[in-house]
Structure 1
């Protein structure tokens, strides 16, 4: 995890443990493979997809297969989203399918499994997603589907996050190598997959940390302006 996220995790969580699994799944086979992944753990399970139409397609498919599932995304009205969230939180439904609207700001207890139907375009979003499981001293499982349609730079970041977390790196991901890594391999050094700089890894990248701090500052400023406007 980036240093900023590690610090937040240490302050907010108690002995979090997440086991990451990365699966190479062809695009056309992903929705069928979901059923097999759902057998790995008991509910509740969170499934993340990038597109609203994929969320709807997954939800419909699971319902047809007899899975107790609900879905939320930005295209659904607030009342429908609230009903779905509450049904999942009360464990009346076993599976919640969602876009990244559920990766931040919504708290669900005892999530057993997070499935990334799509690898997000930003590694920080990946960290937020899988952080929904493995809390309060419990073990959690995170499964991510990747294939050749994913951007190579994101896959390289994923590879280094798995290495840093001492997780198993599947062969098809381990074979990926950036130009800077190829150069560094000749000298036996390690560098950063985010900026390509020498002498540090992605978890200590000053450029990535500066970007995250800027984003956090912008969010804080927007919140302040919103509160100020509300006061008037």
Structure 2
């Protein structure tokens, strides 16, 4: 629906992104009034700004969100941004703090609290680690090194998947396999549950990889990781059971 519109600005700073959004909204309003299409009367208002956003569905998303709040520690203070007062206003505006947001409803349908925590930690790192690397690279950027900076960030993400994530996920899956206690590995029955789930390790792998593959720049690394993890639990790579399906049925 059009209640929410997500726009990728491809800008490298929050200030540039805000200016771009203001320009887009002003252009839509102007053209809507000129051609009488009615777009000029549609209220368009930016509400949230994200960095490294991963979006699967309206109930499954996460990334670095710029939240208007007071920094809670020196690190947040360092990365906080004071916005200007907006178009046509003087002075300074609110302070926003880059914050890791995890809105993954799919996580709640995993078999155990430990599996959910594994999922949360991996997915949060997939947004947070590249963002931190980007901040470090951007602090040293010059017009001559901008392209190199983008290449270094991409290389960092790919190495993150092929080394650290590969090691962490192999260990996590191993821990899940060792826990054969059926009482602790029963899948929860929650509102929207509609699938017959019986393999905790497989469902964990499918859920994590479904999120990681949202970053199209790391497709090869995710495929290699997928093959390795499925082999670890003895499931054929091209089996029909490895396709992820949303465990929560929509009522809309």
TM-score by length of 2: 0.23
From the CA coordinates, give the structure whose radius of gyration is larger.
Answer: 2
Q: TM-score, normalised by structure 1?
A: 0.24
